[in-house]
Structure 1
Amino acid sequence: MIDSSGPVRRPERPADAPWLVVAVVRGAALLVVLPARVLWELLGAGVRWTDRWLLTPVGRFLERWLLRPVARLLRHLLWVPLVWLGRALVRLARWLVWLPLVWLARGLAWLAYHLFWRPVIWLGRVLAPVFRPLLAGLIAVLRWLGRGLRGIGAALWAAVRWAWWAAGRVLLWTYVVTLRPVVLAVAWVWRTTVRPVGRAVAAVWGATVTPVVHWVQDTVVAPTRAVVRDVLAALGLRRRP
């Protein structure tokens, strides 16, 4: 708020710069900026004039009288003959390679059918009465072999089961004869010796060492810690709680 008891002071305005400094600065700016701007405008005008009256007409002339005729000439002299040659090579390959291969495959199939497959069918029909008993005997032998292998597998499985049972019995007997007495002895020693000794040591520790530790904690450690805390707080090294 403005105090109305006294006159209001206005901020002092800086003194105006001397007119000579202002004139020198403006003249330097004109000498530096004006020639650069004039050169920039002249350069832009030169570029525009060159593009309009030189580059564009020359480009149109080259496109119309050089590039287009050269492209047409290359199209008729290179592209069209290459397309025609490619089509001719495809047709020639069809007549000279593909069709002979097709005819050869058909001929080989006809020969294989008439020279191999039909004789095999005829031979199978002729030898069928002879091969049927042989086939039946072979099937019977295979069945007998299957039964034998099944019996051998059952015997092996029974042997494995018996071995597993025997191993379990041996392990159980070993545990009962050797390990169980050791376990019982260790449990008896623990129950009759280690546990009472541990309880006696705990009682002696609680009666002798624990009170001393509590007394040292209450009479020495706690006061010392409080004094150190107060000294550090007084020195500004620690905040007071």
Structure 2
Amino acid sequence: MDLDKRPASPAPGRYEPGDGCLTTAIRIPVRIVVLVLVVPVRMVWDLLAAGTRALHRSVFRPFGRGIAFVCSWVYETLLTPLGRALGVALWWLGRALFVWPWVALWRYVLVPVAYYGLLVPLVWLYTSVLTPIGHGIAFVCSWVYETLLTPTGHVLGVVLGWLGRALFVWPWVALWRYVLVPVVHYGLVVPLVWLYRQVLTPIGHGTLWSLTWLGRGIVLIAAGIWTALVWLVVTLLITPLGWFHRSVLAPVGREIAAALGVAWRIAGQISRAVGRGLKWLARVLIGQPVSWFYRSVCTPVGHVLRDRVWAPARKAAAEAGRAVGSALRSAGETVRQARRDAWRALAGAPRPAEPVAAPVDGARTLGSTTTVPGAVPAPEISLRKQV
């Protein structure tokens, strides 16, 4: 149950003035009935909520953290190195299977074959055969065009131009200008314009006027019918439904909602009281005996075990560890000393270090080119090579 709930909100304010005596009379029984129905639901709800929170704190959250830790460890320890190794292997395998063979084929097969087998012969053919032939053909064609075709073409073009105009342009222009245009204008356009202005326009105006007044009448009739239908619907349906909603449904719904709210808050108080009672009962029947057993029995026994058993055993284990460590260090030092003695017996005593003489020259110059007064010229040889 919800044992740590917030205090319930205060009771709702009074209703607006105008509640009748019937509403006041049925309010208390309705609230009592709703309270009887809501109390078990509220107690079950509080019990489920408390159990869910406890289950979340005790089971789901630690279990989720454990799963997250295991998944993180598996990912970082196993999957990441395995994925990297697999990626590198697949990369090299892909290059070996799909890149290197095609690169070698292109570089050492296709390029030499195309260059020496196709490009070089074509360049030689173009340079040595086709270019001279093309130059000769161009020279012959230019000479024929400039010497023979140009004068003949000018004369033939003038003659064919006048002949084409005489046969294909002037007859059709005369036919269009002096035959078709007058016939179409005076035989078709003029009668159609007169018919449109004198006959069709008055008929259209009269038809439009008639349709306009007819449409206005139809609109007025439809508006009257719609107004009558709206008045009938409002009078016979909407007004009774509005009165029924305001007088019956709204008060009943408001009372039911208020009763549910009050019953839910009262049920919360009852559930809280029951939870506190169960908590006190559990503390008295289980918590206090367990606490007394822990203070009176477990604590003295634990102190006796700590002082009489665990402390001596830990002290003895520490002394034994120190003794074993000292023995191991002594054995190691003995072994090292024996190894040094054996090596000295086989190889002899170590040779003492000999002192190295310091160089005589106090200053190093650049040979005979120095200008430092009093400096002794020294050979340009490093100390390592001198030794």
Q: TM-score, normalised by structure 2?
A: 0.33
Q: Which has the higher contact order (CA 8 A, sep 6+)?
A: 2
Q: TM-score, normalised by structure 1?
A: 0.49
